[in-house]
Amino acid sequence: MEIHYLFYGINTFIWGVLGDWILFVGLFMTLAIDFQTIWKLPKILHFFKRSLRTPSSRRLDVLPAWQSVILNSSAIIGVGNFVGTALAIYIGGPGVVFWACVSIMLGFAPRFAEAYLSFTYRLKNDCGEWVGGPMYYLQAKMPKGLKWFAIVFAFFTLLSTLYSGNFFQAKVIGVAFQHWVGIPELWTCVLISVLSALIISGGLRRIVKACIFLSPLALGLSVVMCTSTLLMHASDIPTAATLILRDALSLKAIMAGSLAAVIGHGVRLGVLTNGAGLGREVMLQTASEPADPLSQAFTAVAISFFELIFVIMIALLIVMSGSYLDVNSPVQLIWAALDWGWEGSGLLFLLVGFSMGFTTIIAYYVIGERCFDFLFGTAHRWLFRSFWVLMIMVFHFLPTQISMQTNTIIVSLACMPNLLGLLIFSSTIFRFMRSGFERIDHDSLIKGASSG
């Protein structure tokens, strides 16, 4: 118990500082480009839609744009969005939702920068695969005495994937199946471990095929569940939105000093669901078509926007149902919220949760593998594959609370080199970003002239 409080204290201190730091970097980059990543979203989404229609070259070393988007979405939009949102609202109240949305929108600019730099400084590894990510642009762009930032980032990101993309996903699935179906959590972890081994052993292509099969189904079902419930109770939406805003900006909370805690939980939810500043999910885009850094940067922003909409839908559902007032388990809270709107839909959460959790596990494996290869080379990749599959079962025996607190500390240690790098490269990044937005403005003018 004492160890748990020690980790909790360290975690609270680090995230108190890191939350402000992440908000500062996001706000700084967003202000530097005149909020264009936000108010030019319609043009970004149009550019994204056009990039999806890019004809595939059918080369074996790259993924078609739409396959890359599904792989990326599998890592970003998952069961963590459900459980993370529920946990944040349960701890911090409805106001957390507002600050999470602010955090995600300010994260558009860092996401743009991470994707652009990752694709610009990508290279081919010994296996002939395109690889990239913050460790590669930190290694290429950092001053000579700071190139070790790349190693620090890769090492701690590797560790964080073992929790975020391995332990957490399997834990949520296991808890859900044990509570509602009666299947022991360990058995579920063993099943996930075996399925993961079968998919991962086939490499990136087999992982992508599995994500294509499962992700659209899971995402489609979850959107249908949330949207239908919100439509059935549309009259309650203004009340829920008012409650969120009042809780986020109330004078009483400011005077009592509790607003800082609400903002902190909101920022944490935004960062851990969106991933801006963490530099993990952009690694999945470096083997994608089209071979254009700007297209990949706009794709990263578009996916973040879709995730923002997803988080808002889940949050509205939870707040409208009032389940956060009565239930103290995030998984059960989601179940209660879904059942409130559409009786029996909680059962669908098992199917959605398993599909989302499993695709996140195999998508995050790719991120972990990229970090492992950077640190130790591709020749020993089989060691990481074996370790990843084994840890799905081993993590079952670890204390959940200490594991959660340890992970957030590790995430902060992985995040800092990347954030510092983005600030150091800011002059170059802003030049890229401004030229990119000038390009979509120019394309819009040409389209308007041709249609006129």
Which range (155-169, 328-342, 371-385) has the least confidence?
328-342
- On whether the CB atoms of residues 392 and 172 are closer than 8 A, the answer is no
Which range (377-381, 413-417, 440-444) has the least confidence?
440-444
Q: What is the pLDDT of residue 450?
A: 41
**Per-residue confidence at 352, pLDDT binned at 50, 70, 90?**
confident
What's the mean pLDDT in 44-72?
Answer: 80
Q: What is the pLDDT of residue 356?
A: 87
Contacts of 119 (CB under 8 A, 6+ apart): 132, 285, 286, 292, 293, 296, 297
pLDDT digit string (tens) for 268-318?
777 767 777 788 888 988 888 767 888 888 998 998 898 888 889 888 988
Q: Answer yes or no: is pLDDT of 445 > 50.
A: no
pTM of the complete model: 0.88
Average pLDDT, the chain: 82
Rounded to whole angstroms, how far apart are CA atoms 94 and 244?
5
CA 261-267-273 angle, to 5 degrees, is: 135
Rounded to whole angstroms, how far apart are CA atoms 356 and 373?
26
61 vs 241, more confident: 241
240 vs 277, more confident: 240
Q: What is the pLDDT of residue 388?
A: 92
Query: Could you confirm whether domain 15-54+83-440 is CATH 1.20.1740?
Result: yes
Question: How many CA atoms are closer than 13 Å to the CA of 215, on its beta-carbon side?
Answer: 24
13 vs 201, more confident: 201
What is the Rg, in whole angstroms, of the alpha carbon atoms belonging to the chain? 21
Strand partners, 130: 124
Contacts of 50 (CB under 8 A, 6+ apart): none
pLDDT digit string (tens) for 405-434?
777 778 878 888 898 898 888 888 888 888
241 vs 443, more confident: 241
What's the mean pLDDT in 155-170?
Answer: 86
Looking at the chain, how many residues does it have?
Answer: 452
